[in-house]
């Protein structure tokens, strides 16, 4: 680097004919490593990630290590920033679901539901959402909670060297992805939940397949208990690691299993119910230990509770519409399977092209332009597997969102990494990060 | 909840007194606060528009200040907050710009110089006890002159099971808002994100650096004057323009 910048943390800069060129990859890093090497012969700075199998995606951890002890830990994020919030401002409100489902890609249905709840609040149609749509939303969210927790436990286990638990977790998640594929057509990134209801109804045979899955999953869940819960190696690695007490959680805004592992049974499904959660019978599991092991136990128990809720959903599924009656909000076309895949139903095309000019105009306007949302702002929050997923949506009365902000729980919870890791062992950093369960798609958006 | 307060309440300061509205049909969202006047449609404003939509004038209004009673527990929180501020020798009308009740949500618009005091009171007062801040969301209203940049905070009380919203604004020329990190440490990354995307400077933040964009990035991408970018794509012989070049209906 040609010039030494006065501020050690600032990127180094050099003047060229094209203007000032900053070097942010490596310049500051070299300085940190150099000064650390000068100060103490035992102290080194380790750069973990952004490409590292145990950092859950492109997370960069900067660890200052004295021997085996982590004295300082910092996160570098932003490697997966895709500008989803900005992009939403250039699409219709309906198209928004296609984007938000890709934020935290392991909790797609939560993103979609939270976004749709915010849009529905702006539209003032919360009361018009049909029972069947709400039940299917709950059903999919609880299946999603299972699949997200399975990935968390599976990858967390793998990072400890427990590869069996990884295979088990992904085996069971695969069954859930098969259900998604049956219901929405896609294993991930569904865009199935739409403002006003759902894109379409459950396909025939879905209920039976979900029941079959619940039966299998009830058999498989105890295997995690047998493998891990009482396993002395697993416990030795997890207990008293990544400690964060209730006061720490409140200050750092940590929610979800991290908060519940401190013994506080805070769950938005109980505290501020949405989608009719107040009518379901389930418990909010907690642990007292406030460590990685406690979070594991909370997640395991939550999976059992989710299975209970899925069964209750199946029992109360009554035939009925899955979209609000307001034709100005519902997607005008009914989808149907044609010879080239899913598309507009032939009956609908026949109607708009052959019989009704008004229906054609209506279809054209809604598909190209979208519906208008009255001006104002709304906040909707759901309890995602990782914590409080909040959506702040602002409308200026147009057909596109004026601003949508996602308060992603992974983003907020990841701030607790330093508090959990500093003063501990290097090996425990892996366990602590795994117990936060960050997904970089959600952190960076 | 008195949800209609926001739209049916007193006329906002933005209302044009010259226009005789007595003979016109009531407009959705009349009243409230004007943030922008929208002219034309489809993004056509270069005179080539023959559709007639070019003459369309529509004012964009956000729900304005609500009058008491706010309904439900909103009055209790407002009373408690105003009382607690008065006890500290701060006149509530100086600290709180306005209170808006809309869509079953309570929003306090706070003057930025009193933000930290208000937030501390909301957190510490036993009757308020908003322990959890869910972060800050920036909103850029480029036509809301003098208050272009808004920072929106959602505070959750686990003790009382309530949720309120604080909204603070700053002009583009002086984009400073005091940091809430001393009160809610969770806002550390959230404020960095809002600085990164909107250019709001949070005074008192321990290390206000970019968090998502590279350190040497120019500009603040989620501001309305920052283009989305993208290139036109050819599909089956037709040119599909980039998303921010497509026609707009709002």
Nearest CB among A253, A374, A400 relative to B250 is that of: A400
Contacts of residue A60, defined as CB under 8 A and 6 or more positions apart, other chains included, come to A47, A48, A49, A50, A75, A76, A77, A79
**For chain B, what is the radius of gyration of the CA atoms?**
21
Read off the pLDDT of each residue in B85-93 and give the average, rounded to a whole number. 85
Q: Work out the percent of chain A whose per-residue pLDDT is above 70.
A: 92
Q: DSSP letter at B43?
A: T
Query: Quick check: A390 and B154 CB within 8 A?
Result: yes
Position of tokens 């322990």?
B131
Task: Answer whether A405 touches B (CB < 8 Å).
Answer: yes
pLDDT in tens, A197-210: 898 888 888 999 99
Q: Give B188-234 pLDDT, tens digit per residue.
A: 999 999 999 999 999 999 889 899 998 888 889 999 989 888 888 98
Question: Which residues, listed in sequence order, are joined to residue A21 by a DSSP beta bridge?
Answer: A14
User: Which one of B31-45, B80-94, B174-188 scores highest in mean pLDDT?
Assistant: B174-188
**B105: how many CB neighbours lie within 10 A of its CB?**
22
Residue of higher predicted confidence among B35 and A173: A173
Q: List, as ranges, residues 2-31 from A with C-beta within 8 Å of B.
A: 9-11, 22, 24
How far does the CA of residue B74 sit from the closest CA of chain A (Å)?
A: 16
Across chain B, what does the average pLDDT equal?
82
SS3 category, B14: coil
Residue B71 main-chain phi, psi, to 5 deg:
95, 150
Measured between beta carbons, which residues in chain A are less than 8 angstroms from residue B216?
11, 22, 24
pLDDT at A342 over 80: no
Q: Has residue B69 got a pLDDT over 70? A: yes
Question: Could you read off the pLDDT of A284-316 as tens digits, one per residue?
Answer: 999 999 999 999 999 999 999 999 999 999 999
Mean pLDDT, all residues of chain A = 87
**Model confidence band, residue B30 (pLDDT cutoffs 50, 70, 90):** low
Predicted local distance difference test score (pLDDT) of residue A7: 55
| B120 near A CB under 8 A | no
Listed in sequence order, the residues at least 6 apart from A212 whose beta carbon sits closer than 8 Å to its beta carbon are none
Search chain A and give the residue with CA nearest B41. Answer: A398
Average pLDDT over residues A104-124: 93
Cα(B20)–Cα(B29) distance, integer angstroms: 17
Tens of pLDDT, residue by residue over A349-408, are 888 888 988 888 888 888 888 888 888 999 999 999 999 999 999 998 888 999 999 999
Supply the pLDDT for residue A175: 93
**pLDDT at res. B182:** 92
Name the B residues in 150-169 with CB < 8 Å from any A CB: 152, 154, 156, 158, 161, 163, 165
Cβ separation of B186 and A398 shorter than 8 Å?
Answer: no
- Residue A261: name the closest of A226, A300, A231 by CA: A300
Nearest-CA distance B221 → chain A (Å):
8
**Interchain CB distance below 8 Å, B250 and A398:** yes
> For the residues A183-196, what does the mean pLDDT come to?
90
Most confident of A39-43, A75-79, A407-411: A407-411
Q: Is the pLDDT confidence value at A43 over 80?
A: no
Cα dihedral B142/B60/A103/B165 (nearest 10)? 90
Contact B133/A at CB under 8 A: yes
Instruction: Please report residues of A whose CB lies closer than 8 A to that of B154.
Output: 379, 390, 392, 407
Chain B partners within 8 Å of A270 (Cβ): none
Query: What pLDDT does residue A112 have?
Result: 94
CB distance B221–A90 less than 8 Å? no
Q: Cβ separation of B243 and A78 shorter than 8 Å? A: no
Q: What is the DSSP letter of B172?
A: T
C-alpha to C-alpha distance for B10 and B85, rounded to whole angstroms:
26
- Residue B15, pLDDT > 90, answer no
Q: Rounded to an integer, what distance in angstroms lies between the CA atom of residue A140 and that of residue A318?
A: 16
pTM attached to this predicted model: 0.86
Q: Which chain B positions have a beta carbon within 8 Å of A264's beta carbon?
A: 158
Please tell me which residue of chain A has the smallest CA distance to B186.
A252
Q: Quick one: pLDDT at residue B220?
A: 92
d(CA A429, CA A422): 9
**Of A402, A399, A432, which is closest to residue A414 (Cα–Cα)?**
A432
CB interface of B with A, residues 11-30, below 8 Å: 28-29
* Alpha carbon distance A384, A389 (integer Å): 6
**Cβ contacts (< 8 Å) between B250 and chain A: which residues?**
372, 396-400
pLDDT of res. B198: 93
What are the phi and psi torsion angles at A279 (to 5°)? -95, -5
Q: Name the band, by pLDDT with cuts 50, 70 and 90, for residue A37.
A: low
Choice between A410 and A66, residue whose per-residue pLDDT is larger? A410
Mutate to test the interface with B, among A19, A50, A273, A403 (most CBs of B within 10 A): A403
- pLDDT of res. A53: 67
CB within 8 Å: A375 and B243? no
Q: In B, residues 47-66, which contact A (CB 8 Å cutoff)?
A: 58, 60-63
Instruction: Write down the pLDDT at residue A193.
Output: 92
> What does the alpha-carbon distance between residue A13 and residue B216 come to, in Å, rounded to a whole number?
10
Specify the pLDDT at position A230: 85
Q: Which of A245, A274, A405 to mutate to probe the B interface, most B CBs <10 Å?
A: A405
Partners of B167 in the β-ladder: B109, B152
Mean pLDDT is highest, among A249-263, B62-76, B84-98, for A249-263
The three-state (H, E, C) secondary structure of chain A, written as one string: CCCCCCCCCCCEEEEECCEEEEECCCHHHHHHHHHHHHHCCCEEEEEECCCCHHHCCCCEEEEEEECCEEEEEEEECCCCCCCHHHHHCCCCCCCHHHHHCCCCCCCHHHHHHHHHHHHHHHHCCHHHCCHHHHHHHHHHHHHHHHHHHHHHHHHHHHHCCCHHHHHHHHHHHHHHHHHHHHHHCCCCCCCCEECCEECCCCCCCHHHHHHHHHHHHHHHHHHHHHHHHCCHHHHHHHCCCCCCCHHHHHHHCCCCHHHHCCCCCCCHHHHCCCCCHHHCCCCCCCCCCCCHHHHHHHHHHHHHHHHHHHHHHHHHCCCCCCECCCCCCCCCCCEEEECCEEEECHHHHHHHHHHCHHHHHHHHHHHHCCCCCCCEEEEEEEEECCEEEEEEEEECCCCCCCEEEEECHHHHHHCCHHHHHCCCEHHHHHHHHHHHCCCHHHHHC
pLDDT of residue B2: 40
What residues of chain B lie within 8 A of the CB of A77, using their CB? Answer: 211-212
- Which residues of chain B neighbour A1 with C-beta distances below 8 Å? none
Look at residue B14 in the predicted model and tell me its pLDDT: 44
Confidence of residue B55 (pLDDT cuts 50, 70, 90): confident
Residue whose token pair is 């209970």? A308
pLDDT of residue B6: 40
Task: Residue A251: list chain B partners with CB under 8 A.
Answer: 184-186
The number of C-beta contacts closer than 8 angstroms across A and B is 142
């Amino acid at each position: 680097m040609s010039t030494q910048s006065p501020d050690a943390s600032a990127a180094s800069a050099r003047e060229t004919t094209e203007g000032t060129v900053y070097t942010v990859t490596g310049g500051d890093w070299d300085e940190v490593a150099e000064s650390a090497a000068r100060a103490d012969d035992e102290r080194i700075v380790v750069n973990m990630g952004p490409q590292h199998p145990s950092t859950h995606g492109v997370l960069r951890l900067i660890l200052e290590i004295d021997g085996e002890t982590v004295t300082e830990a910092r996160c570098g994020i932003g490697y997966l920033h895709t500008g989803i919030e900005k992009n939403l401002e250039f699409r219709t409100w309906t198209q928004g679901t296609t984007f938000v489902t890709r934020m935290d890609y392991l909790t797609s249905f939560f993103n979609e539901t939270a976004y749709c709840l915010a849009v529905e609040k702006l539209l003032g149609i919360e009361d018009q959402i049909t029972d069947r749509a709400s039940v299917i939303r709950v059903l999919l969210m609880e299946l999603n909670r299972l699949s997200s927790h399975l990935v968390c436990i599976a990858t967390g286990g793998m990072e400890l060297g427990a590869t069996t638990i990884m295979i088990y977790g992904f085996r069971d998640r695969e069954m859930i992805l098969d259900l998604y594929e049956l219901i929405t057509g896609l294993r991930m990134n569904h865009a199935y939940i739409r403002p006003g209801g759902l894109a379409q109804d459950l396909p025939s045979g879905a209920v039976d397949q979900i029941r079959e899955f619940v039966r299998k999953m009830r058999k498989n869940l105890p295997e995690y208990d047998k493998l891990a819960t009482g396993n002395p190696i697993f416990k030795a690695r997890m207990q008293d690691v990544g400690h964060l007490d209730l006061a720490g959680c409140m200050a750092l805004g940590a929610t979800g299993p991290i908060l519940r592992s401190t013994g506080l049974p805070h769950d938005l499904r109980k505290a501020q119910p949405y989608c009719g959660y107040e009518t379901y019978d389930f418990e909010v599991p907690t642990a007292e230990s406030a460590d990685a092991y406690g979070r594991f136990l909370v997640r395991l128990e939550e999976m059992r509770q989710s299975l209970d809720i899925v069964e209750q959903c199946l029992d109360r599924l009554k035939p009925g519409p899955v979209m609000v009656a307001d034709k100005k909000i519902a997607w005008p076309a009914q989808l149907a399977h044609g010879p080239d895949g899913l598309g507009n139903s032939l009956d609908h095309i026949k109607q708009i092209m052959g019989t009704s000019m008004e229906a054609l105009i209506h279809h054209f306007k809604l598909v190209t332009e979208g519906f208008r949302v009255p001006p104002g702002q709304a906040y909707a929050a759901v309890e995602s597997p990782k914590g409080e997923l909040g959506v702040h949506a602002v409308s200026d009365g147009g057909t596109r969102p004026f601003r949508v902000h996602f308060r992603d729980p992974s983003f907020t919870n990841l701030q607790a990494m330093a508090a959990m890791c500093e003063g501990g062992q290097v090996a425990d950093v892996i366990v602590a990060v795994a117990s936060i369960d960050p997904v970089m798609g959600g952190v960076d958006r | 909840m008195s949800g209609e307060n926001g739209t049916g309440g007193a006329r906002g300061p933005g209302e044009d007194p010259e226009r005789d509205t007595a003979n016109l049909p009531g407009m959705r969202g009349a009243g409230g606060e004007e943030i922008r006047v929208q002219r034309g449609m489809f993004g056509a404003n270069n005179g080539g528009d023959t559709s007639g939509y070019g003459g369309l004038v529509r004012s964009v209004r956000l729900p304005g200040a609500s009058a008491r009673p706010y309904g439900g527990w909103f009055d209790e929180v407002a009373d408690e907050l105003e009382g607690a501020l008065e006890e500290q020798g701060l006149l509530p009308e100086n600290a709180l710009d306005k209170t808006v009740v809309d869509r079953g949500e309570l929003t306090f618009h706070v003057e930025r110089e009193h933000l930290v005091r208000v937030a501390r009171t909301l957190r510490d007062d036993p009757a308020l006890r908003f322990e959890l801040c869910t972060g800050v969301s920036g909103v850029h209203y480029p036509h809301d002159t003098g208050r272009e940049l808004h920072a929106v905070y959602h505070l959750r009380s686990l003790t009382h099971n309530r949720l309120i919203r604080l909204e603070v604004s700053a002009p583009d020329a002086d984009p400073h808002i005091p940091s809430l990190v001393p009160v809610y440490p969770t806002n550390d990354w959230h404020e960095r994100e809002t600085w990164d995307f909107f250019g709001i400077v949070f005074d008192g933040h321990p290390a206000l650096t970019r968090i998502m964009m590279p350190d040497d990035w120019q500009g603040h991408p989620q501001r309305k004057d920052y283009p989305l970018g993208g290139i036109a794509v050819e599909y089956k012989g037709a040119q599909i323009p980039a998303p921010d070049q497509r026609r707009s209906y709002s």
